[in-house]
Structure 1
Amino acid sequence: METKQKISADILEAYGRPGKKELEEVDRLLQKEIGTSGRKIIVLDDDPTGVQTVHDISVYTDWDKGSVEKGFREPGSLFYILTNSRGFTAEQTTRVHDEIARVVEEVAEESGRPYILISRSDSTLRGHYPLETLRLKETIEEKGMVRFDGEILCPFFKEGGRYTLGNVHYVKYGDTLVPAAETEFARDKTFGYHSSDLREYVEEKTKGAFKAGDVTCISLESLRARDYDGIEAQLLRVEGFNKVVVNAVDYCDLKVFCTSLYRALKKGKNFLFRSGAALVKVIGGITDQPLLTREQMVTRHTDKGGIVVVGSHTAKTTEQLEALLTLEKVRAIEFNSDLVLEAEAFEEEIRRVVEECERVMDAGDTAVVYTRRKLLTLEHDTKEEALVRSVKISDAVQSLVARLAVTPSFVVAKGGITSSDIGTKALAVRRADVMGQIKPGIPVWRTGEESKFPATPYIIFPGNVGDATTLKEAVEVLLG
């Protein structure tokens, strides 16, 4: 077990930021590279929270050829495909990524357009890694002429307090940066890990296939020096699908990196990406925009209340739930998710909760449904069994929305698997528009006409984002 130390978050300020003129020049150089690239960016998102840094972008909830072709034809530089693979078994994610890789390569070949493929995953390092990017690499290389020189790891996500410095990935708690492996996220039953140093994380997760000492590291020092040529030279030397770790504590770091990256791509290098949400925004040239207002989100006149569904079990989520329940116009409804072990009782519990939600929303109040706050664990449990049971509970949670006969004024889902199932199963969304964010790192979809509740704002609230009052504040915006 590593023993990386917590450090004061004051270190982030010590790096400072370039001045206004320097930042303008950084932006100009990046936009120049993006403008001449001509590459379509496809982002495979392992849960719906990955759109937490972008706006006016399409997200597709399937990956059939027709959807991928539509994505390629869109005028924008990028689109998302929601895989929800963080809720899959290894076998399922293998099958899905093989299928997506074949479809993307086929559409790209027919369109004659080069592309960048990003595997967007958790900024706290959970998920099917290295399985997903390895399957993409092998399937694409078997099918086409593309050969990948390396894989870029960039879990930085400022809005969620995730920073990488000295090659160590940190999660910000208050005034402290905690090494990721020392957080509750690293103890995840299915996707746990022991290394905060991303070089060691690579070696750990690849079971020694890629050594920590062979990882290419893009340092903060070279990024802040705006050493475009030096960073490009580092990327040009990468081969054998070796790994590249990107340090970052601010968006300006990613802008410098992406400029050098585009230059390396122009010279024939090819990379796959495993990243948090921030890299997607920068590599796609997505602009900043203000946080969304109620008037922008709730566009249908209604006297019904909304619904908030809380599935995540993290300590942060429980703290946020407690703060939310202090609001006047919300009503708490606990869903006894432990009944998952008793089929008949579980079904009866689902019916009870749906009826209670409808009663609350009809009265113009907002129903707040939450699962038991302590994660159900069983003796002699395996990782796969725990994941399957978790998915079964999530399926029941989404059905609470799917069975509603009352149209809510808004829907909020808390937690990755929960939000994915509600979006794709309960709301039956095939394609959604990402409107923007209601709070930093918290995205809002506008549901399509094909969905159960068309043109309804769907707020996807990650389980590990925000502080104690952020969920409460987001609902206050929706309530007006």
Structure 2
Amino acid sequence: MKIIIFDDDPTGSQTVYGCPLLLNWDEQTLEAAFTKSSPLIFILANTRSLSSALAVKKTREICSSIKKFFLRQGYSKDDYFYISRGDSTLRGHGVLEPAILAEELGPFHATFHIPAFLEGGRTTVNGIHYLNGIPVHNTDFGRDNIFGFSTSDLAKWIEEKSFGKIQAENILHVEIKQLDMASKNKDCFNSLLSFFSKLENNVSVVVDAELPHHLETLARAIKVVSKEKRFLFRTAASFIKSLSELPPNPKDIADLVSLKSKNNQFAYKPGLIMVGSYMKLATDQLEILLNDNSCEGLEIPVGKLADIFALEDYQEKILELEEILLSKIDDILDIKKVPVLYTTREEMKFSSSSKRMNFGLELAEFMAILVGKIKNKFGYIISKGGITTQLLLQKGLNFNQVDLKGQILPGLSIVTSNSDLYHLPVVTFPGNLGNEKTLLESFRLMESNS
């Protein structure tokens, strides 16, 4: 049974490989994706970058395209698993998006909330969600200016994000103890099956997970019961790996690094690093990266860009700024260093979250189009931040879909296009991933055979 994943940014495929990531959902693109042998199809909806109203509109548009495609092909929507993939630190439209999917693709007997991302230190224990042992609402992610929240208790979080429509007392809970026992004992596994088979009326279910076998046991039970029940999922990346049951990737890290593009002399072209994420972790990673002598930073002046975008006719000023930055990138390449294109680190203040989101999209599109103008100069790109990466792939490189090759580090994917025009692998680096040295580590890996 194929698994269709609605990904709210382009990094949710960070635990799997060998599948298409769609940036477009027209019939031709969908048909090509559904004929691939992979059990996984990711649709890069990028809804985390949108307001609630626009996220609803985008989700309904994608569902409409899929349903029309199913009708023309004679497929049944009941023959697929559907996952709303969201942030493992609980940012995004984590309750709204599965609710819209339920309206469009339902009815479902239950919606499972499984935000554990074990590869990144995100676990759920006793219904409480943690980041490296810290309740996630006590981290920078819980204090996010757009998607912040007040609790790490997932049942209460669902109540908060549904504005009371889903009451915490009505939310069910699959505990670690249940999953541990079900993984070791047939009777306990059957008890878990019985519990799932009684779910009705799209009830919300919170799932604990601390170790891989918890999610593997859950996935095994889901597959048995799915013969008689339809379930929807809001999950981070780890459950996707468990549900898909992919074997280990035959490509190792050296294989993935060697995907880099070469010049006419068969030497690897230089890389480019983009850092759009404004999270403190991204800033810490950038600071350590820029201490490496083989890199040279180039700041995109966010305040100046905001002033330009506020003008009635700003195209001429944008082109002037582009010319300045492109010239500086050439200067960096001339001294045989890797350009690190990054946005001003201080987050700007806006009068509303919708204005903040709109500017974030304008900024990411500016970076994407800038890089797109010189894409043939580079052998690879490391793109830090979900919105930055989505716009790079879509607007800068003009891809309709990319192919996921695997991970160079846990949670760090590398994708390529099947375009005949040019070959340029992109490392998709989530804003919230790793420690302060992970960006430097990924750069050194990509340069390891240059």
Aligned equivalents of 2:319, 2:116: Cα separation in 1: 41
Tell me which of 365, 386, 397 is aligned to 1:416: 386
In the alignment, what sits opposite 1:84? 46
Contact 1:428 1:450 in 2 (8 A): no
> What SS does structure 1 have at the residue aligned with 2:163?
coil
Aligned equivalents of 1:187, 1:125: Cα separation in 2: 11
Pairing 1:247–2:208 present: yes
Contact 2:417 2:425 in 1 (8 A): yes
Cα 1:41–1:303, aligned 2, differ >3 Å: closer, same or farther? closer
Pairing 1:462–2:422 present: no
Q: 1:366 Cα deviation (Å)?
A: 0.8
> What SS does structure 2 have at the residue aligned with 1:232?
helix
Pairing 1:308–2:273 present: yes
Letter in 2 for 1:213: E
> What SS does structure 2 have at the residue aligned with 1:43?
strand
Task: Tell me how many residue pairs correspond in the alignment.
Answer: 428
Contact 2:260 2:268 in 1 (8 A): no
In the alignment, what sits opposite 1:284? 244
Aligned equivalents of 1:259, 1:168: Cα separation in 2: 23
Q: 1:405 Cα deviation (Å)?
A: 6.2
> What SS does structure 2 have at the residue aligned with 1:274?
strand
In the alignment, what sits opposite 2:196? 235
> What SS does structure 1 have at the residue aligned with 2:116?
coil
Letter in 2 for 1:79: I
In the alignment, what sits opposite 1:132? 97
Matches within 5 A, 1:204-353: 204-226=160-182, 227-266=188-227, 268-289=228-249, 292-293=253-254, 295-298=257-260, 300=262, 301-302=266-267, 304-343=269-308, 347-353=319-325
Aligned equivalents of 1:155, 1:401: Cα separation in 2: 33
Task: Provide the TM-score with structure 1 as the length reference.
Answer: 0.85
Cα 1:363–1:302, aligned 2, differ >3 Å: closer, same or farther? farther
Ranges in structure 2 where 5+ consecutive residues have no aligned partner: 183-187, 309-313
Aligned equivalents of 1:189, 1:285: Cα separation in 2: 37
Contact 1:304 1:363 in 2 (8 A): no
Matches within 5 A, 1:91-106: 91-106=53-68
> What SS does structure 1 have at the residue aligned with 2:297?
strand
Contact 2:260 2:269 in 1 (8 A): no
Contact 2:285 2:440 in 1 (8 A): yes
> What SS does structure 2 have at the residue aligned with 1:49?
coil
Tell me which of 120, 124, 136 is aligned to 2:85: 120
Letter in 2 for 1:377: K
Letter in 2 for 1:237: K
Task: Provide the TM-score with structure 2 as the length reference.
Answer: 0.91
Letter in 1 for 2:201: G
Contact 1:329 1:365 in 2 (8 A): yes
Q: 1:219 Cα deviation (Å)?
A: 0.6
Provide Cα deviations, 1:439-468, integer angstroms capped at 9, x if missing partner.
1101000122156xx222100111110111
Deviates more, 1:289-298 or 1:93-102: 289-298
> What SS does structure 2 have at the residue aligned with 1:187?
coil
Pairing 1:370–2:333 present: no
Q: Percent identity?
A: 28
Deviates more, 1:326-335 or 1:284-293: 284-293
Contact 2:29 2:400 in 1 (8 A): no
Q: 1:230 Cα deviation (Å)?
A: 2.1
Cα 1:309–1:405, aligned 2, differ >3 Å: closer, same or farther? closer
Letter in 2 for 1:292: I
> What SS does structure 2 have at the residue aligned with 1:373?
coil
Cα 1:116–1:405, aligned 2, differ >3 Å: closer, same or farther? closer
Aligned equivalents of 2:11, 2:326: Cα separation in 1: 25
In the alignment, what sits opposite 1:29? none
Ranges in structure 1 where 5+ consecutive residues have no aligned partner: 1-38, 142-146
Contact 1:429 1:450 in 2 (8 A): no
Aligned-pair Cα RMSD in Å: 1.8
Contact 2:272 2:339 in 1 (8 A): yes
Tell me which of 23, 29, 33 is aligned to 1:71: 33
In the alignment, what sits opposite 1:18? none
Q: 1:303 Cα deviation (Å)?
A: 5.2
Provide Cα deviations, 1:120-172, integer angstroms capped at 9, x if missing partner.
1111111123221122211234xxxxx21111111111121110011000011
In the alignment, what sits opposite 1:144? none
Aligned equivalents of 2:137, 2:32: Cα separation in 1: 40
Aligned equivalents of 2:258, 2:375: Cα separation in 1: 25
In the alignment, what sits opposite 2:157? 201
Pairing 1:182–2:143 present: no
Contact 2:261 2:379 in 1 (8 A): no
Provide Cα deviations, 1:342-392, integer angstroms capped at 9, x if missing partner.
2155553333222211332354321001111110114xx111111111111
> What SS does structure 1 have at the residue aligned with 2:142?
helix
